[in-house]
């Protein structure tokens, strides 16, 4: 069983800022096809995975935020019959290979807003990848300004265990995942009225008997890279739809 640490309680990007002190970094890759940096390391039976990507988007910061947080629109239409939270008649606007459904829950209890926090809600996710998985994610959105007076928005997502989820609501799904810790962060920085820099960070930890082996890292890296690329594609598509024109994504 995976040992839970103080990392589990953090919500900010600093959750993995130490680059896993005590872990031996044994795999590092720049996926040139998807332009994603990948990293993995191991300590005893525990392995972490990390992926990062950065882009300059040709749209304003609020549209980019909306294209990130439309979680219920991202799923797999082939899994409609497996749904329990969403209508089986609802069409997924943006394809996500393993995601059966995502459902947003905004009526939360028992928390105080943090500094610069503008929104907080839970997302219940049900996944199918040879078998059924599920978990609750806490989404917290912060807004501030940088030293140049430009708006900065952070969208932090953290997978909760059942005890943490129950602090907010009676969770509609239980934590059933090969990853005990999973965290992602979107940092949106306003460049101009029509440009937004988007930086994405994903990290997870697992003690799964297969995923923690070195021979599995390349496959996990490939899966992570594809998933991150699909995520950015969905953002691109949503921005294009909002503006009725194709939005071009260029490297930073």
Q: What percent of the chain has pLDDT over 70?
A: 88
Q: What percent of the chain has pLDDT over 90?
A: 84
Q: What does the block give as tokens for 169? A: 């609501």
Strand partners of residue 24: 42
Rounded mean pLDDT of 85-113? 94
pLDDT for residue 251 is more than 50: no
56-84 confidence digits (pLDDT tens): 999 999 999 999 999 999 999 999 999 99
pLDDT for residue 85 is more than 50: yes
Mean pLDDT of the chain, nearest integer: 89
**Strand blocks (E) in 44-110:** 46-57, 74-75, 94-95, 99-105
Rounded mean pLDDT of 78-104? 96
33-44 confidence digits (pLDDT tens): 999 999 999 999
3-class state of residue 124 by DSSP? strand
The confidence score (pLDDT) of residue 244 equals 65
Torsion angle of C-alpha atoms 234, 237, 241, 247, degrees rounded to 10:
130
The confidence score (pLDDT) of residue 200 equals 98
Rounded mean pLDDT of 98-123? 95
List Cβ<8 Å contacts ≥24 apart for 114-120: 114/11, 114/140, 114/142, 115/142, 116/142, 116/143, 116/144, 117/141, 117/142, 118/142, 118/143
Rounded mean pLDDT of 179-200? 97
15-27 confidence digits (pLDDT tens): 444 556 788 999 9
Give the pLDDT band (50/70/90) at residue 7. Answer: very low
162-188 confidence digits (pLDDT tens): 999 999 999 999 999 999 899 999 999
What residue segments make up the domains of the chain, in order of their start? 34-250
Strand partners of residue 40: 27, 49
List Cβ<8 Å contacts ≥24 apart for 71-74: 71/102, 71/104, 71/123, 71/139, 72/101, 72/102, 72/103, 72/104, 73/234, 73/238, 74/99, 74/102, 74/231, 74/234
**Strand blocks (E) in 44-194:** 46-57, 74-75, 94-95, 99-105, 117-128, 132-145, 151-160, 181-192
pLDDT for residue 5 is more than 50: no
Compute CA distances 169 → 77, 84, 124, 172, 231, whole Å. Answer: 28, 18, 11, 9, 27
Rounded mean pLDDT of 192-218? 95
44 Cβ neighbours under 8 A, 6+ residues apart? none
**Which CATH number, 3.40.50.300, 3.30.530.20, 3.30.930.10, 3.30.1300.10, labels domain 34-250?**
3.30.530.20
The confidence score (pLDDT) of residue 110 equals 85
117-162 confidence digits (pLDDT tens): 999 999 999 999 999 999 999 999 999 999 999 999 999 999 999 9
The confidence score (pLDDT) of residue 185 equals 97
Exposed/middle/buried for 91, CB within 10 Å: 0-12, 13-18, 19+?
Answer: exposed
The confidence score (pLDDT) of residue 22 equals 80
């Amino acid at each position: 069983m995976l040992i839970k640490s103080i990392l589990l309680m953090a919500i900010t990007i600093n959750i993995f800022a130490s680059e896993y002190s005590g872990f031996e970094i044994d795999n590092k890759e720049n996926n040139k096809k998807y332009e994603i940096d990948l990293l993995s390391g191991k300590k005893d039976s525990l392995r972490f995975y990390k992926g990062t990507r950065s882009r300059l988007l040709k749209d304003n910061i609020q549209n980019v935020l909306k294209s990130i947080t439309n979680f219920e629109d991202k799923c797999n239409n082939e899994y409609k019959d497996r749904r329990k939270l969403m209508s089986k008649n609802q069409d997924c606007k943006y394809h996500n290979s393993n995601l059966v459904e995502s459902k947003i829950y905004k009526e939360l209890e028992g928390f105080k807003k943090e500094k610069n926090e503008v929104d907080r809600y839970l997302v219940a996710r049900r996944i199918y990848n040879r078998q059924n998985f599920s978990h609750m994610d806490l989404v917290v959105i912060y807004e501030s300004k940088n030293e140049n007076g430009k708006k900065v928005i952070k969208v932090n997502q953290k997978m909760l265990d059942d005890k943490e989820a129950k602090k907010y609501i009676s969770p509609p799904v239980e934590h059933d995942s090969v990853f005990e810790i999973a965290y992602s962060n979107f940092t949106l920085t306003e460049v101009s009225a029509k440009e937004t820099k988007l930086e994405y960070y994903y990290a997870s930890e697992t003690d799964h008997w297969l995923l923690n082996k070195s021979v599995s890292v390349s496959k996990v890296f490939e899966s992570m890279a594809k998933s991150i690329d699909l995520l950015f594609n969905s953002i691109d598509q949503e921005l294009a739809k909002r503006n009725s024109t194709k939005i071009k994504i260029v490297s930073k």
